[in-house]
Amino acid sequence: MVLDGDIIPIRPGHAIAIPPGVRHRARGDLELINVVVPAFDPEDEYVVEGNDQPEGGAHDEDRI
């Protein structure tokens, strides 16, 4: 996982809480269960343009 530009190593069974406003994205080959609290609102999601990813990032966008 990448949280605000920091790479956080994860393993099977890990749980991650992402506070509001933290830029985040998944990296690598993984399956996940995504629990969203409060309920997901597509109006609350936006894409950050640019290539400010840590080395090895494969995308030009982050989702918040």
* pLDDT of the residue at 48: 74
Place of tokens 């985040």: 24
pTM of the model: 0.62
Q: Can you give the pLDDT of all 64 residues of the chain as single tens digits?
A: 999 999 999 999 999 999 888 989 988 888 989 998 888 888 888 777 765 554 444 444 444 4
Exposed/middle/buried for 5, CB within 10 Å: 0-12, 13-18, 19+? exposed
* pLDDT of the residue at 51: 56
Asked, as a colleague might, if the bond just before 38 is cis with ω within 30 of 0, I would say yes
- Cα gap 5→19, rounded to integer Å: 14
- Cα gap 9→32, rounded to integer Å: 14
* pLDDT of the residue at 52: 53
